């Protein structure tokens, strides 16, 4: 894939050379500055939350939901999906419901990091057998994915919206 793309010459476009090629990064930054990116990021947050929530449910199901906190990411996923979809169509949803649900989702991911670190430490041998326990215990980086999805929703909420 080339990082240059062809565009029509317009007063809004920054072109390079006579061929009218534009760097993709310039195009993305222009979309952000003109408010076109907020709706896309709201929708991407909803899709990412669905995928992440399904993965979390399956992995916690394998763990038999042994800790009641294992239900929290499963329960927080549907509100974030709804808020993300709402943020695509409504500025009010993007500026009210999306930051609240995305913030809770990100915070829950950080809480999950704590529980996963603790889960590895509780395995026989704890951190002294980290090479084994990190592979066989709860995945350390998995809750970080939730935090990143929540962060995407927070970013979408603070971006300018297209008029």
% the chain with pLDDT above 90 = 68
- What is the extent of the structural domain holding 23? 1-34
- Is pLDDT above 50 for 18? no
Domain check: are 55 and 14 in the same one?
no
For 149, residues 6+ apart whose C-beta sits below 8 A from its C-beta are 45, 48, 49, 52, 80, 102, 105, 106, 109
Which tens digit of pLDDT belongs to each residue from 75-111?
999 999 999 999 999 999 999 999 999 999 999 999 9
% the chain with pLDDT above 70 = 87
Residue 102 lies in a domain: yes
Residue 90 lies in a domain: yes
Domain check: are 28 and 46 in the same one?
no
CB atoms within 10 A of CB 86: 18
Q: Considering the entire predicted model, what is its pTM?
A: 0.80
Residue 163 lies in a domain: no
């Amino acid at each position: 894939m080339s990082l240059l793309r062809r565009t029509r010459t317009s007063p809004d476009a920054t072109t390079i050379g006579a061929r009218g090629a534009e760097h993709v990064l310039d195009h993305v930054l222009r979309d952000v500055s003109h408010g076109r990116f907020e709706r896309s990021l709201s929708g991407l947050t909803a899709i990412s939350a669905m995928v992440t929530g399904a993965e979390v449910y399956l992995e916690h199901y394998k763990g038999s939901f042994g800790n009641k906190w294992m239900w929290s990411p499963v329960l927080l996923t549907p509100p974030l999906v709804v808020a993300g979809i709402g943020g695509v169509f409504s500025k009010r949803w993007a500026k009210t419901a999306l930051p609240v649900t995305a913030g809770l989702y990100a915070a829950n991911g950080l809480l999950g990091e704590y529980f996963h670190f603790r889960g590895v430490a509780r395995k026989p041998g704890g951190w002294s057998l980290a090479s084994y326990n990190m592979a066989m215990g709860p995945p350390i980086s998995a809750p970080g994915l939730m935090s990143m999805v929540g962060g995407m929703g927070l970013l979408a909420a603070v971006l300018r919206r297209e008029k």
